[in-house]
Chains A and B, each alone.
Chain A
Amino acid sequence: MIELHLLILVIVVSFGFVFSYLAMKEHDLLKALALSSVQSTFFALGFYILAAPDIVLAYLAIAVGAYTALVILAISKTERYEVGE
């Protein structure tokens, strides 16, 4: 049965990697932030699978709530688009 936990973890980590790669490639910063929030949500699920309820409580509030709001504020005060090379 422990394989089931590890399989869920594999899916979570793979989606997290894919979304963080997409976030790195994205030039619109708001879209990049949304993609990295999706990655954070998957990782919160992963922390739950790893039997860490304390981390889930702190991580959900910070990585999906406060951090997103902070970076949206920063983007609204600076530039929205990243200039490519």
Chain B
Amino acid sequence: MKRDALVAASFLIAFIFIAYVVTVKNILGLGGEELRPLSEFYLSHAFAHEGLTSHSPEVVTAIVWNYRGFDTLFETFVFFLAIMGALSILRLDREQLEHARELEGSMPHRQMDLIVKATTKLVVVMIIAISASIALHGHLTPGGGFQGGSAMAVAALLLFAAFSKFTLERRGLTLKHTISAYAAGLALILATILAPVVLYGGKVLEINLLPGETGLFNLDVGEYTAVTFGFLTVFLILGIPEWVFKNILRRELND
């Protein structure tokens, strides 16, 4: 009872505070016409080609990977930790993976009809082209590594839905390959942030020292690969049907 009253009172206080903020004080700064000094600095320096520039007309990508680079770097590691946490819960060792593949192969194979398959092939090619364009032109047009990677993950999900996961794994999209590609993306990011130290004697993530926009481009490509294959890894292991998993868990209990 006391707890409920406390919760209700805190809600009331929050409402009063919100009304005050929005209507009287405008603390949030909604609806102004001037720029804040910080964003004026970013907007005027991102493409200036002198001083603290990052050679990028796309100010958001410049902030994400140059001005606030450490933020994004550690968010990449948070992403990595979340994916690895999911994988370590759903993990299967090598024998169990083989067993799962056998069970899935023995399952009666249902096929989508021809129209769905052909349309999916077309659409997937288009999505892959667009996502590559989003990611590789990330420093020129709207987009970047995160956006391109998530679009690419959607293309892979479409393939899962139209063809089966089993077909894709037989064609070579196995867990080992996706994890290797994820590691390659992370390695590219790490190499790019360490390149200024090794080559030019600067500091970590000081990608202004690299020629032109190489730093932003490399980081975008690395993030593209990392996000794509990070999502894909989890969806590959979540796509295993539930009865296969139950079978494996039962065997683990019996051993």
Contacts and interface: CB of A to CB of B under 8 A. Distances in A.
A61 B142 contact: no
Interface string B124-154: 0000000000100000001110110011011
Contacts of B154: 61, 65-66
B239 interface: yes
B142 A66 contact: no
Nearest to A61: B150
A66 B61 CA distance: 23
B153 A61 contact: yes
A76 B146 CA distance: 28
Contacts of B47: none
Interface in B23-43: none
A11 to B, nearest CB: 18
A18 interface: no
Contact of A58 (B150, B231, B238, B239): B150
A61 B151 contact: yes
B235 A57 contact: no
B235 A58 contact: no
A57 B157 contact: no
Given A66-B154, A66-B157, A57 B134 contact: yes
A73 B142 CA distance: 31
Contact of B239 (A54, A56, A65, A73): A73
B interface, over-half SS: helix
B60 interface: yes
B157 A69 contact: yes
A27 to B, nearest CB: 22
Given A65-B157, A66-B157, A54 B144 contact: yes
A53 B142 contact: yes
Contacts of B235: 69-70, 73
Interface in A3-34: none
Nearest to A69: B157
Interface string A29-70: 000000000000000000000000110111001100110011
Contacts of B142: 53-54, 56-57
B238 A57 contact: no
B50 interface: no
B113 interface: no
Contacts of A62: 150
B245 to A, nearest CB: 8
B255 interface: no
9 contacts: A54-B144, A54-B147, A61-B150, A65-B150, A65-B154, A66-B153, A66-B231, A70-B235, A73-B239
Interface of A: 53-54, 56-58, 61-62, 65-66, 69-70, 73, 76-77
What are the 5 A-B residue pairs with the smallest beta carbon separation, nearest first? A53-B142, A65-B154, A57-B147, A61-B150, A58-B147
